[in-house]
Amino acid sequence: MNWLGLLQDSFELTDWQISRLQALDALYREWNAQINVISRKDIDSVYEHHVLHSLAIARYLQTVPGLYDEFAGSTVLDLGTGGGFPGIPLAILFPSASFVLCDSVGKKTIVAQAVASALELPNVRVVNARAESLPGPFDFVVSRAVASLADFYPWVRGKFSRGILYLKGGDVNEEIASVMGRWKLRPGSVHTWPVSAWLTNPYYDGKLVLHLEK
């Protein structure tokens, strides 16, 4: 897959952004050899399975009038970031947004911090903490399948003012119904978008961007 060509077709990338995206493969190979944050079977698919998946959030934002530009100037919490996904690719794409990358596992945040530092991303702050200890609110919360939606929502409830953008796979209807019923979410406030609308690799079949509006 020509991942860079796909991104250039989808987004207006600067040389600064391209150089940092291109540096991700070597950085994650180097750090993954020391601290395993990407499975060994996936380390050869950093772009296909991790970078592009992260940026599916940005591609979804383009489908909602005004939302891409709103996100570009926002504050964003990436909860359960692991080694920096989806936060680091999004921080490269949105240099005017401010990102806090949070994970409760210290060795994972070591990797996320090292990658952000090597890329010289001034809009990224990495914290080793649990969600409950974070001050808020942020404009948006992003995350990539750290838990079921029903478990995830209480962790960030009250910590965002605009919405949640959550990368999730499988049949999410029951999870959505559970969250809407338990927390009395407004009808029509939860949207699903298939990642396969942008990425045709079979790997993305069944994977979704979930958007919970405030």
Report the distance separating Cα 176 and Cα 183, nearest Å.
11
DSSP symbol at 170: S
Cis peptide before 137 (omega within 30 of 0): yes
Contact 166, 212 (CB under 8 A): yes
Tokens found for residue 212:
């919970």
Whose CA is closest to 139, among 72, 187, 94? 72
Residue corresponding to tokens 């927390």: 183
Task: pLDDT tens for the chain, 214 residues: list them.
Answer: 799 999 999 999 999 999 999 999 999 999 999 999 999 889 999 999 999 999 999 999 999 999 999 999 999 999 999 999 999 999 999 999 999 999 999 999 999 999 999 999 999 999 999 988 898 899 999 999 888 998 999 999 999 999 999 999 989 999 999 999 999 999 999 999 999 999 999 999 999 999 999 8
Report the distance separating Cα 193 and Cα 24, nearest Å.
26
Whole-model pTM above 0.85? Answer: yes
Tokens found for residue 18:
């391209």
Report the distance separating Cα 90 and Cα 132, nearest Å.
23
Residues 6+ apart with CB under 8 A from 116: 84, 88, 91, 101, 124, 126
181-186: long-range contacts (C-beta < 8 A, 24 or more apart)? 182/150, 183/153, 183/154, 183/157, 185/212, 186/213
Tell me whether strands 75-79 and 138-144 are parallel, antiparallel or unpaired: parallel
